[in-house]
Amino acid sequence: MASRGRAAHPQRPSRILIVDDHELARGGLHTMLSGEPDLEIVGEAENGERAIKLCELLTPDLVLMDVRMPGMDGIAATAAIKQSSPGASVLMMTLYLDHDYLFQAIKAGAAGYVLKDATRRELLTAVRRVLEGETALDSALAMKLLSRLSQEKEEHEAQAIDPLTPRELEVLQLVVEGQTNHEIASALGIGTGTVKSHVEHIIAKLGAADRTQAAVRAVQLGLLHPANRMVNHGRSGWVNPTI
C-alpha cells in the first residue's frame, strides 16, 4: 500500500527521514540516497525521541530507523511513530541479523529491514519497495518470524474483522509466502492491478498499515499459517533486491 503522502501527491518525491545515533552513518545514508529524483531527505535524527518529533513535524513517507540507539531504541521509536504518525513506513537498519530484535521490530510496526552494509543498489531497492508496498516476505528469516507470531494468535482471535473473500484469502496466502504482486498475478492468472486492489482491500480489512503488517495480522488472527518453505534471504529482509 502506498503511503499517505504518495497517494495524495503521486508526482512528488517520497519524503525520507534518517534516524541513527552516529553522524557518520547518517551522512553515508544521505549520500547514498541523494540525487534520486523520486526521493527527498527531509530530515535526520540522532535518537528515537527526536525521530518521533520530526515525524510529526515533517510527515515523512519512510523512516530509515537504526535498531540500536542509546535511550529510546529503534523498536520503541517505531512503535511510537506508528501510533502518532501511522502514515509513515519504517525500514529498520541493523549491522547484523538478530532474530529477537527483528521479531520485536515487526511487532512494533516495521515494514522490513536492511543491513547497514547493503550496497547502494540494495538500499535503494529496499526503500522503493517499501514505498510501493512491495514488502514481500520472501526470506527464510521472515517465515521464522511469522511462525513465532503464530504462537501468539490466541491473544488476537477474539478481535472482529471484516471477512475476507475466498480470492482475498488466496492472495493473502501468497503474500504471507513472500510473493510479489507480479508473482501472485501469474500464480492466480489475474492482472497485477487486480492483485494490487485485493492487497489494498486486505490491508484495510485487517486494519494493517502495510503489506508486512497485514501478513503479521493474518498469522496472529489464525487466518493463515506462514509457509514452511525455506528461501535464501538477501541483504535486505522481506525485500528481494534481485526482483
The second-level CATH assignment, the architecture, of 141-237 is: 3-Layer(aba) Sandwich (3.40)
CB 109 within 8 A of CB 196: no
Cell numbers at 237, concatenated: 529482509
Averaged pLDDT, 71-91: 93
Residue 113's CB is within 10 A of a number of other CB atoms, namely: 29
Mean pLDDT taken over the chain: 80
Q: Residue 45 above 50 pLDDT?
A: yes
Distances, alpha carbon 77 to alpha carbons 41, 49, 62, 84, 214, in Å: 19, 7, 14, 10, 20
Q: How confident is the model at residue 56 (pLDDT cuts 50, 70, 90)?
A: very high
DSSP one-letter code for 136 = -
DSSP one-letter code for 91 = E
Cell numbers at 55, concatenated: 515525524
Domain ranges in the chain with CATH number 3.40.50.2300: 4-134, 141-237
CB 127 within 8 A of CB 39: yes
Q: Give pLDDT, residue 180.
A: 81
Q: How confident is the model at residue 115 (pLDDT cuts 50, 70, 90)?
A: confident
Across 28-37, 171-180, 207-216, the highest mean pLDDT is recorded for 28-37
Q: How confident is the model at residue 178 (pLDDT cuts 50, 70, 90)?
A: confident
Q: Residue 240 above 70 pLDDT?
A: no
Helices (H), the chain: 4-8, 23-33, 48-58, 74-84, 99-108, 120-132, 140-150, 166-176, 181-188, 192-206, 211-220
Q: Give pLDDT, residue 142.
A: 60
Among candidate residues 240, 239, 237, the one with its CA nearest the CA of residue 101: 237
Query: How far is it, in rounded angstroms, from Cα 103 to Cα 115?
Result: 15
Of all residues in the chain, what percent are helix, strand and coil, respectively (each to 5)? 50, 10, 40
Q: How confident is the model at residue 22 (pLDDT cuts 50, 70, 90)?
A: very high
**What is the strand order of the sheet 236-237 is part of?**
39-45, 14-19, 62-66, 89-94, 112-115, 236-237
Quote the CATH superfamily of domain 4-134: Response regulator (3.40.50.2300)
Q: Residue 7 above 50 pLDDT?
A: no
Q: Give pLDDT, residue 234.
A: 40
Report percent pLDDT > 90 for the chain: 37
Q: Give pLDDT, residue 137.
A: 44
Q: Give pLDDT, residue 40.
A: 96
